[in-house]
Structure formats: C-alpha cells, structure tokens
Amino acid sequence: MSDERLLVLVEDDEAFARTLKRSFERRGYTVLTADNHAALVALLAGHRPTHAVVDLKLGAESGLVCVQTLHAHDPAMLIVVLTGFASIATAVEAIKLGASNYLAKPSNTDDIEAAFSHASGDPSTPLAPRPTSIKTLEWEHIHEVLKDSDFNISEAARRLGMHRRTLARKLAKRQVG
C-alpha cells in the first residue's frame, strides 16, 4: 500500500489505540502506533506520515511535545490532538505547535476524519455563545466567592449561605484551579 494516507497514532491506552487503528485501517489508512515521544521519534526515523492523531496526556508526558516533533518533521502533516483534559490553554498551545485540530474525548474515527478535512478553518463558524449550564454557573459563582475570601472555605461558605462541609464536598468533586 502506498504511503499516500500514512497515519501515526500516538496513544498510551492500548485498547483505544487498537480500536482506532483497526477503524482507520478499514478506511484505507496505513497506521503506525507509538505510545510515547521516544517511540514516535524512532518511528519517524523511517516513515513520513501524512496524518497524525496525538493523545494530549501520554502517561506522565505531554502530547504537545509529540505535536511539536511531528510538525517539525513535516509542516504539511495534518495533526489532530485528542484529549480527555480539554482546556482553552492546551488547545491554543496545540494549534501554535502545529496541530490542525483539537478534539475532546470521546471522539470516534468519523470525528477525527472530519477534523482532518477541516484543517484550514471555517470563517463562517457562528459566534453564538454556548448556553451555560446551571452547574457551571454555580461553580463559577463558588470559585469567585472563594477567590474573594482568599480561599478561606469557612468564610466562603458563610458568604454563600451554606454549611462549610457542604462547600467542602462540592470542592472535593471539582478541584479549584
């Protein structure tokens, strides 16, 4: 098979990597896998992939290093970053380092292929704000009150009109920061 659609998959979750690999192979891609940056560098020594899918969190490593390496290897490569830890900061950094797109998990092969085809961006994307959930609004309010009370949980609970233990339970579910 020609290297016309050679995809490198950088993913440390073996089961997920195996599933994605099979799915892309059924779509006509030749798929190579690496589970960390060192394995990726070794792979790139003998191959020139056209597409890449990179997990943002590779054990203790950051997938952003892999994005940078892939982009340096071939600036025309289409790179999609997948993550279960999506944030605006990591999305911006991934794009700056050469990623074509950034997707939050769970994403499937259809989502990833669509991301490959939308690598150039779409200026007609609507700017309408996403509706905010009640839980998100509550969390933002709690965080703001915590900040205003210098992260003193007892004082924040008093200002919020709730028991200190209730606030502590809420904070344990969703870390501040």
pLDDT digits (tens, 9 = 90+) for 40-95: 999 999 999 999 999 999 988 999 999 999 999 999 999 999 988 778 888 899 99
Mean pLDDT of the chain: 87
CATH fold of 134-173, please? Arc Repressor Mutant, subunit A (1.10.10)
Task: List every span in the chain annotated with CATH 1.10.10.60.
Answer: 134-173
pLDDT at 7: 96
Residue range 3-117 in CATH 3.10.580.10 = no
Q: Which of 65-69, 110-114, 151-155, 172-176 has the highest mean pLDDT?
A: 65-69
SS (H, E, C) the chain: CCHHHEEEEECCCHHHHHHHHHHHHHCCCEEEEECCHHHHHHHHCCCCCCEEEEECEECCEEHHHHHHHHHHHCCCCEEEEEECCCCHHHHHHHHHCCCCEEEECCCCHHHHHHHHHCCCCCCCCCCCCCCCCHHHHHHHHHHHHHHHCCCCHHHHHHHHCCCHHHHHHHHHHCCCC
Among the residue ranges 13-17, 82-86, 128-132, 162-166, the one predicted with the least confidence is 128-132
Return the pLDDT at 105.
Answer: 82
Q: Is it the case that residue 177 has pLDDT exceeding 70?
A: no
pLDDT reported for residue 97 = 95
Range 12-37 average pLDDT: 94
Which residues make up the CATH 3.40.50.2300 domain(s) of the chain?
3-117
pLDDT for the residue numbered 164: 93
What is the reported pTM?
0.67
